[in-house]
Structure 1
């Protein structure tokens, strides 16, 4: 007598996934991942030695140009604003920290664009490395490079005659202010990254913010030279407060206890408190939108 065929048991989707999956416990900590991502970015930059030389040369020439400009500029406006100092020192500090901010903000946006161009965005994010970790690693690399060029700009300025009033207390104040400068401007970098995630184009946020700060934040001239209505506009940019406080500490030797320095710190903290949640929301929307339509790694 013919035997009926044996039926295979019907497996549910969850049971198949459970049978084929294996538990994976990451062995690399988040800090290590962030550092490794930053190291990859730094090694890539160092590979192109000609660009390294051109970057450094450009920084030196950019600062050296203002030696000539300072010869034709009256130091009276600088002295009125800070009590002492000359235009060249004033301009060196403005240029150095403005380049620092722009390089750091642009670096975050460019890191996203580069991974999209390489087609490696989705590959990285399919691993156990979260996007926040990935972004933190890329950001660390850009800030390391920006700090390198900041040091080069300041060293060039000192070699060409810039005069800084540095004591232990003012150096501590400058370090704290530099940290606040990074934190307050990182929100703009995150906002820019969110725009790139959504629209796949170079973010106009970086370009607009950079040029606006150079015009209205007193990078090359004291804010007292601006008309009153433009001085009001300059208060919308965190670099205005950062540069004023840094010049007070490095040109006039003031410390964190100075009323003007403390007022600038409060303004930077207020700016960060307002822009941080907005930037994170823009970034979250751009990231989630790219994941939904499958365009996360598209260029």
Structure 2
């Protein structure tokens, strides 16, 4: 825990040394919120029938989609990005030569990204509430549980991406494809029911589909455990399979890089 906290403090100091960039990233949250707010006003009641399961409000629907997709994006990119930075600055080999476990290094390197993304998600939800999104009936306990399981699942995919970086020394083939594909078919900006049938079937293979549906029902409709249990259990299955697999893949990638003497190559 102390070593993981050290990663967090290190990255916090680095981020705060670029204050303008830090503030601009926060400003982007409010810009996005207003963009979707005005789009929802343009759509008006026309969007309600397709969103009946979530209360019929497009603005509420898309705010939760964008907020959760922030975690998905950072889960995919943060581990690979941190690894790439450590390679280019020459700190990766030094960290891996310490007694610190590989899993601690992997997870610790992404702590700041998740902390900052949590701040951004809170700003999305607060701004949404100020502009009329109602969370009066939200099942917050289930919402937090869904969010935690989602983060674990998304992180596992990101660690797999970092494994590709370790071996290939260049942009991995996983992050871009999965990120764009999930955005298109998983229901971030629109319900998957509007997609052609083959894409709806494909969406069932993407963990963010289950996370979005469960989180929206929990926060907007106050859904009970029984109502969203299938989606949550699907997320748990993804997490149970992908997390051990990703950590094992990363250990193999580190071992191969050590044998090849290519830890610092990029």
Q: Pick the aligned partner of 2:76 from 84, 105, 122.
A: 105
Q: CA deviation at 1:276?
A: 2.9
Change (3 A) 1:227 1:191: same
Structure 1 residue aligned with 2:175: 206
Structure 2 residue aligned with 1:219: 188
Query: In the TM superposition, what whole-angstrom CA distance separates every residue of 1:150-173 from its partner, at most 9, and x where no partner exists?
Result: 112212222222222445xx1000
TM-score by length of 2: 0.94
Number of equivalences: 264
Question: Is residue 294 of structure 1 aligned with residue 265 of structure 2?
Answer: no
Q: CA deviation at 1:135?
A: 1.4
The answer on whether the counterparts of 1:37 and 1:137 sit within 8 Å (CA) in structure 2 is: yes
Structure 2 residue aligned with 1:10: none
Q: CA RMSD in A?
A: 1.6
The answer on whether the counterparts of 1:78 and 1:90 sit within 8 Å (CA) in structure 2 is: no
1:229-268 aligned at under 5 Å gives the runs 229-256=198-225, 258-259=226-227, 261-268=228-235
Q: Pick the aligned partner of 2:113 from 120, 142, 146.
A: 142
Q: Which runs of 4+ in 1 moved over 3 A?
A: none
Change (3 A) 1:107 1:69: same
Query: In the TM superposition, what whole-angstrom CA distance separates every residue of 1:95-152 from its partner, at most 9, and x where no partner exists?
Result: 1110122123311111111111111111122222232221121122221111111112
Structure 2: segments with no counterpart, 5+ residues? none
Structure showing greater radius of gyration is 1
In 1: Cα distance, 2:243 partner to 2:7 partner:
24
TM-score by length of 1: 0.84
In 2: Cα distance, 1:85 partner to 1:253 partner:
14
Structure 1: segments with no counterpart, 5+ residues? 1-30
In 1: Cα distance, 2:148 partner to 2:242 partner:
17
Structure 2 residue aligned with 1:96: 67
**Larger helix share, 1 or 2:** 2
- Name whichever of 54-63 and 201-210 sits farther off: 201-210
The answer on whether the counterparts of 2:49 and 2:56 sit within 8 Å (CA) in structure 1 is: no
In 2: Cα distance, 1:129 partner to 1:135 partner:
10
In 2: Cα distance, 1:78 partner to 1:188 partner:
31
- Name whichever of 274-283 and 95-104 sits farther off: 274-283
Q: Pick the aligned partner of 1:64 from 21, 34, 38.
A: 34
